[in-house]
Amino acid sequence: MKCIIIDDEPFAIDLLKTYVEKTDSLELSGTFSNPIKVHSFLMKSNIDLIFLDINMPVLTGIQLIKSLTHCPLIIFTTAYAEYGVESYEYNTVDYLLKPIRYDRFLKAVNKASEMFSAIKLANRESSSISRNPVSEESVIKIKSGGKVHRVEVSSLLYVEASGNYMIFHTCKEKILSLMTMKEAIDLLPKESFARIHKSYIVSLAAIETIERHQVTIKGAKLPVGSSYRELFLSKI
């Protein structure tokens, strides 16, 4: 995976750089002490993973994520435990507290590698079954009020029914749309998403853990209904 390090502390950058260099699955593409300079770099480079500090001057790590149009996998690296809950609202693989040990770093990287492989597999499967390339575009359009959101399929985590609305949970925001569950299902690539409950559709690539009665996606525990379990498990 191609990765970058963003941290305003030189010592933290040096330590993470050492860790990355001795980890075979990682390729370091750059280090940044100023998060503002990351935008232009990401426009020109294909990055899979970001090691991101949260508490930085001018622009925090979470503010940076909110400003990005493309959302790579994120491993937060911070000295502040209180940001943990908020961080999992985004495309977060793990949350590393400083000082960071290499064994804990490696555990987070292995988790990122599994998620990265699952995303690539889901994208390949979606492309291979498509008879009409236009029908399986990587971007879907979601109407919300007077706006139409263009959302990358790879950034969509799960969809939740709420009354007459559907909530589309992406790696950086929630989009509320007036539509039925059937309309939501028809909008999504069938090989990459599965209905697991009367109220939930999930991205197969975004699933972190699977249990008999629930799945976990970015820290959220989502129920698996008994009437959907067999078909869901067969897709997995």
For residue 120, pLDDT beyond 80: no
For residue 16, pLDDT beyond 50: yes
Average pLDDT rounded to a whole number, residues 157-183: 92
**pLDDT digit string (tens) for 184-225?**
999 998 888 999 999 999 999 999 888 878 999 988 999 999
Domain residue limits, the chain: 2-126, 133-235
Out of 46-60, 86-100, 154-168, 190-204, least confident range: 86-100
Average pLDDT rounded to a whole number, residues 2-10: 95
pTM of the prediction?
A: 0.56
Give pLDDT, residue 1. Answer: 93
Average pLDDT rounded to a whole number, residues 148-165: 91
For residue 87, pLDDT beyond 60: no
Out of 61-70, 158-167, 173-182, 214-223, least confident range: 61-70
For residue 72, pLDDT beyond 80: yes
For the 133-235 domain, the top CATH level (class) is mainly beta
Give pLDDT, residue 79. Answer: 85
pLDDT band at 56 (very low <50, low <70, confident <90, very high): confident
Give pLDDT, residue 82. Answer: 65
pLDDT band at 105 (very low <50, low <70, confident <90, very high): very high
Q: Which fold has domain 2-126?
A: Rossmann fold (3.40.50)
Long-range contacts of 225-232 (CB under 8 A, 24+ apart): 225/196, 225/197, 225/198, 228/194, 228/195, 228/196, 228/197, 228/198, 229/196, 231/194, 232/194, 232/195, 232/196
